Amino acid sequence: GQNIDQPTEMTATEGAIVQINCTYQTSGFNGLFWYQQHAGEAPTFLSYNVLDGLEEKGRFSSFLSRSKGYSYLLLKELQMKDSASYLCAVFDSNYQLVWGAGTKLIIKP
Amino acid sequence: EAQVTQNPRYLITVTGKKLTVTCSQNMNHEYMSWYRQDPGLGLRQIYYSMNVEVTDKGDVPEGYKVSRKEKRNFPLILESPSPNQTSLYFCASSFGDRHTGELFFGEGSRLTVL
């Protein structure tokens, strides 16, 4: 079966750095995505990785290791508005998205 | 403004009463999809469509129907809703038949079936 694992919940402090991990086991791999979802709202696209390495976009960075089936999302200089769920999703061999259950990130002042 | 529009946003209905959730996108996207989201389970795909008149089952299609008669519209039909279909539903769209993965989501439709 296909599986994506993320921590259910994480807590961090405003101004700090947090790393949200995602491990995957899928039938094939054609890219990994991170989405942000605020409570009661729609998910919004954050990043896409298809090659190994780190992709930086402002305060957010995403890392991929295909050999390890592993990715992380790094959020720097945390702000209260970063309190949200972060969803990891993988494109399998059929270009179907397999979704993780999401990580709820709580930011404390 | 580029957007995906779903209606209704909130609905309470009773078991067995047919309902339709509409979805419309104004970005000329070929790919459209319906998801349901339940606590602890993440997003689960119900149906998707690669283009007009082309629809396929996702992971949880039972109890749902869809149609794609026009490129912009992709309604979700619950012929005989049951309480286990109480959920938050999202419509999403993207470019291309092998879509890039950057899905554009509607605001969601929260459905309660009594």
Q: List residues in chain A touching B: CB distance below 8 A.
A: 8, 31, 33, 35, 40-45, 48, 87, 89, 91, 95-97, 99-102
- Tell me the residue length of chain A: 109
* Nearest residue in chain A measured CA to CA from B58: A96
DSSP letters for B31-88: EEEEEEEETTTEEEEEEEEEETTEEEE-S--TT-EE--SSSSB--EEESS--GGG-EE
Q: How far apart, in whole angstroms, are the C-alpha atoms of residue B74 and residue B93? A: 10
CB pairs under 8 A between A and B: 43
Closest CB to A100 among B42, B90, B108? B42
Residues in chain B with CB shorter than 8 Å from the CB of A44 are 105
DSSP letters for A37-103: E-TTS--EEEEEE-SSEEEEETTEEEEEETTTTEEEEEE-S--GGG-EEEEEEEE-TTS-EEE---E
With bands split at pLDDT 50, 70 and 90, how would you rate the model's confidence at A94? confident
Positive or negative, the CA dihedral A77, A101, B44, B19 is: negative
Q: What is the pLDDT of residues A46-82, one digit of tens each?
A: 999 999 999 999 999 999 999 999 999 999 999 999 9
Q: Do A95 and B98 touch (CB under 8 A)?
A: yes
Q: What is the pLDDT of residues B32-74, one digit of tens each?
A: 999 999 988 889 999 999 899 999 999 999 999 999 999 999 9
**From residue A61, how far is each of A74, A109, B75 by CA, in Å?**
5, 22, 36
> In this structure, are residues A4 and A89 in contact, taking their beta carbons and an 8 Å threshold?
yes
